[in-house]
A and B are shown apart, each in its own frame.
Chain A
Amino acid sequence: MNAELRILTVSQLSRHIKGLMDRDELLSGVLIRGEISNYKMYPSGHHYFTLKDADSALRCVMFRGDAVRLRFRPENGMQVIAAGRVSVFPRDGQYQLYCVDLTPEGAGRLQVAFEQMKRRLQAEGLFDPANKKPLPTYPGRIALVTSPAGAAVRDMLRILRARWPMSRVLVVPVRVQGEQAAEEIAAAIDYVNYYDLGDLIITGRGGGSVEDLWAFNEEPVARAVFNSEIPVISAVGHEPDVTISDFVADLRAATPSNAAELAVPDRAEVEKHVQQLGCRLLRAVEQPVAAARLRLEQLRRSRVLTDPAAGIREKRLLLDYQSGKLLYGMEQALAAQRQRMGRLAAALDALSPLKVLGRGYAIARDENGRVLSGVRQIEPGDKFDLRLVDGTLACRVEERKCL
């Protein structure tokens, strides 16, 4: 044994090692990739876990002050990159990582970014149902902000053509994945709005990985969709894929095909609807016409018109009875009734069909003198007479048009 060797206490040794490590530049700020295991959160708020890879393990502690800043909940099995410094915990003689930040790797990282964006935009009101615009029922112009290549645009065009060929479709070509995609999509939506190129915008793409669909989770797209004056349908990926633009859009479609179905009505159904409106229109107008006809008929049948003299007789008898001055009364009555007769005659005259003719109406009679009141009472080629106010026109039916 070398006499020059000092005898150290355990604590002294620990302090020495700790000193070495704390002065080491690499250990004072490291990033370490590994998988979380044995994760525990203590009531103190400090988090303890082990980072491991295939061959090694590293004890880690994350103090409460750093842990509360995490935007995700670390779980066992999660691949992360931990940032911190490595030092010794003298009590156990163990070195450990004093972790100050954790970042999930791979899909986890995206998931975290997604959740963060969602939370932020939601707080800002971008998903608020009150801000959703109603979609046009029969859009005339539809702008597809999507890739001009690929199946999604073909699917949409096929369905739009089958259901609602009356619409004009404008394909606004953009890249739907990669670095520039989000900016391009956002710019295209702004552009369609600026030049008013559609009544409705569908933006989206076909299925892909989370990374492929990522542009639709980015803030520029979310803001462009939110700011669009034109209603927007978001149609990204397959049914289970949900993107930020789905939340902001006025309507979320499960797929591009679904977007096309939601965007337009079915032509056959609309045709049926138009026909139904036509029937209702006819039925509705028949009522006032029938009511007016009935009133006219009642007037025509009223006694004063069918038997004007009856009124006179009654009046006369009444007068006779009341006055007792028969002759005088009769003369008076006659004079009065003569005047009244004159008025009635004028009224009758006004109601005469001939007077009506003077207002531009005409009476059509077939060759047998029967009055024509409907187009089905006469056949094309038949002759008929048209009585106008000042004479009669001999006519022939060219064509029958039913209302």
Chain B
Amino acid sequence: MATKKLDFEQSMARLEEIVALLEKGEAPLEQSLALFEEGTKLMANCSALLDKAEQKVSLLKVGDQGQPEEVPFDTEE
């Protein structure tokens, strides 16, 4: 599973799923280890996403063709 492509919501959902699967304790050893490895990667991914987090705020501008364009929004007063 390509964990890099998952956004935070998906990563968290998969991580919670993996923990639940492991906690059920029904998976054979090899599968458990694979799940564990996937889980640790997801955790790293989520932590990294949580760490970087500098909020981006834009203002919507409607382009000539009606398409959405974004310009920086001055968040200071």
Contacts and interface: CB of A to CB of B under 8 A. Distances in A.
B43 A171 contact: no
B19 A171 contact: no
Contacts of B7: 140
Interface string A339-350: 000000000000
A245 to B, nearest CB: 20
B26 to A, nearest CB: 9
A171 B22 contact: no
Interface stretch (A1-9, A96-104, A279-287): A279-287
Nearest to B23: A284
B22 A284 contact: yes
A274 B55 contact: no
Contact of B55 (A154, A169, A278): A169
B54 interface: yes
Contacts of B62: 191
Contact of A285 (B9, B22, B57, B58): B22
A285 B20 CA distance: 11
A173 interface: yes
A165 interface: yes
Interface in A104-140: 136-140
A274 B73 CA distance: 31
A42 interface: no
Contact of B53 (A166, A197, A278): A166
Contact of B59 (A148, A160, A168): A148
A357 to B, nearest CB: 20
A271 interface: yes
A13 interface: no
A285 B15 CA distance: 13
B50 A166 contact: yes
B40 A171 contact: no
Given A137-B12, A138-B12, A166-B53, A285 B77 contact: no
A270 interface: yes
Interface residues on A, range: 35 or more
B19 A148 contact: no
Contacts of A403: 40
Contacts of A259: none
Nearest to A276: B19
B18 A281 contact: yes
Interface in A261-310: 267, 270-271, 274, 277-278, 280-281, 284-285, 287-289, 291-292
Nearest to B62: A191
Indicate the member of A136, A138, A267, A291 with the most B CB atoms within 10 Å: A138
A241 B53 CA distance: 34
A281 B50 contact: no
Contacts of A364: none
Interface string A156-176: 010011000111111111000
Interface of A: 136-140, 143, 148, 154, 157, 160-161, 165-173, 191, 195, 197, 199, 267, 270-271, 274, 277-278, 280-281, 284-285, 287-289, 291-292, 403
Given A166-B50, A173-B60, A281-B22, 13 more contacts: A136-B9, A148-B59, A154-B75, A167-B55, A168-B55, A168-B57, A171-B60, A274-B47, A281-B19, A284-B22, A285-B33, A289-B29, A289-B32
26 contacts: A137-B9, A148-B59, A154-B75, A154-B77, A157-B55, A166-B49, A168-B56, A169-B56, A169-B57, A169-B58, A170-B58, A170-B60, A171-B57, A171-B60, A195-B68, A274-B12, A274-B50, A277-B43, A281-B15, A281-B18, A281-B22, A281-B43, A284-B23, A284-B25, A288-B32, A292-B29
